[in-house]
Amino acid sequence: MEPEKRMDKRIRVDLNLELEQNPIIISPFESLSEEVLFLILDLLNWNPLDRKSFSLVSRSFYKLESCHRRWLTPLRSDLLPSILTRYSSISHLNLTLCSRLTDVTLASIASLLSSSLRSINLSGSRSYTHKGIECLADKCFNLEEIDVSIRVDLGDEVAAAIGKMVKMERVNMGRCRKVTDLGIGCIAVGCPNLKLLSVKGCVGVTDLGVKLVAVKCTKLKSLDVSFTMITKKCLPAIMQLPNLEEFCMTGCLGIDSKAFVILKQGCNTLQALDMSNCEHMTDSGVLSILQKCPNLFHLNLASCSSVNVSILSGLKSMCKLGSIKLDGCKVTASGLKSLSNSCISLKELSLSKCLGVTDEGISVIVAKHKDLVKLDVTCCRYITDESLSAITSSCTSLVSLRMESCTKLSSKGFWLIGQCCPKLEELDLTDNDLDDEGLRSLAGCHNLVSLKIGICLRITDNGLIPIGHSCPRLQELDLYRAIGITDKGVSAIADGCPHLEMINMAYCTNISDESLKFLSKCSKLCILEIRGCLQVSSAGISAIAAGCLLLSKLDVKKCCEVNDAAMFSLARYSHNLRQIHLSYCSVTDAGLLVLACLGSLQNVTMLHLSGVSPKGLATALLMCHGLTKVKMHSSFKLSIPQALIEHVESRGCSFHWMNKPFQVDFESSELWKQQSHDLFVE
Q: How many C-beta atoms lie closer than 10 Å to residue 650's C-beta?
A: 11
Give strand pairing partners of 629. 603, 654
Residue pair 201/181 in contact (Cβ under 8 Å)? The answer is: no
Distance of CA 607 to the CA centre of its chain: 26
Task: Give dist(CA 220, CA 196) in Å, integer.
Answer: 6
Please tell me the predicted confidence (pLDDT) of residue 13. 47
Q: How many C-beta atoms lie closer than 10 Å to residue 303's C-beta?
A: 19
Task: Give dist(CA 680, CA 170) in Å, integer.
Answer: 42
Residue pair 449/472 in contact (Cβ under 8 Å)? The answer is: no
Q: Can you list the residues of the chain whose pLDDT is less than 70?
A: 1-28, 45-46, 306, 664-682
Residue 113, SS3 per DSSP: coil
Residue pair 280/255 in contact (Cβ under 8 Å)? The answer is: yes
**What are φ and ψ of residue 247, in 5° steps?**
-135, 120
Please tell me the predicted confidence (pLDDT) of residue 337. 85
503 φ/ψ sector (left φ>0, alpha ψ -120 to 50, else beta): beta
Question: Count of H helices and E strands in the chain?
Answer: 28, 24
Residue pair 263/238 in contact (Cβ under 8 Å)? The answer is: no
Q: Which amino acid is at 633?
A: H
Residue 325, SS3 per DSSP: strand
Task: Give dist(CA 630, CA 214) in Å, integer.
Answer: 43
Question: b/e per residue, 457-466, with b = 16+ CB within 10 A?
Answer: bbbbbebbbb
Task: Give dist(CA 184, CA 167) in Å, integer.
Answer: 16
Q: How many C-beta atoms lie closer than 10 Å to residue 492's C-beta?
A: 17
Max CA distance (Å), the chain? 112
Kindly list the distances between the CA atom of residue 254 and the CA atoms of 81, 167, 174, in Å, as whole numbers in the listed order: 46, 33, 18
Task: Give dist(CA 591, CA 612) in Å, integer.
Answer: 9
SS3 sequence of 467-484: HHHHCCCCCEEECCCCCC
Task: Give dist(CA 484, CA 460) in Å, integer.
Answer: 4
Question: Which residues are CB-contacts of 119 (< 8 A; sequence separation ≥ 6)?
Answer: 91, 92, 93, 143, 144, 145, 146, 170
**What DSSP state is assigned to residue 38?**
H
Task: Give dist(CA 228, CA 657) in Å, integer.
Answer: 32
Question: Which residues are CB-contacts of 247 (< 8 A; sequence separation ≥ 6)?
Answer: 222, 223, 238, 267, 270, 272, 273, 274
Kindly list the distances between the CA atom of residue 136 and the CA atoms of 88, 356, 380, in Å, as whole numbers in the listed order: 16, 53, 50
Task: Give dist(CA 117, CA 145) in Å, integer.
Answer: 9
Residue 121, SS3 per DSSP: strand
Burial label, 368 (beta-carbon count in 10 A; 0-12, 13-18, 19+): middle
Task: Give dist(CA 303, CA 103) in Å, integer.
Answer: 42
Q: What is the pLDDT of residues 103-117, one digit of tens each?
A: 999 999 999 999 999
CA angle 352, 350, 288 (to 5 degrees): 115
Task: Give dist(CA 316, CA 270) in Å, integer.
Answer: 18
Which is nearest to 512 in space by CA: 542, 534, 479? 534
pTM of the model: 0.89
Q: What is the mean pLDDT of the chain?
A: 90
Residue pair 269/295 in contact (Cβ under 8 Å)? The answer is: yes
Task: Give dist(CA 499, CA 561) in Å, integer.
Answer: 29
Q: Which amino acid is at 175?
A: R
Q: Which amino acid is at 570?
A: L
Distance of CA 566 to the CA centre of its chain: 28
**What are φ and ψ of residue 635, in 5° steps?**
-65, -25
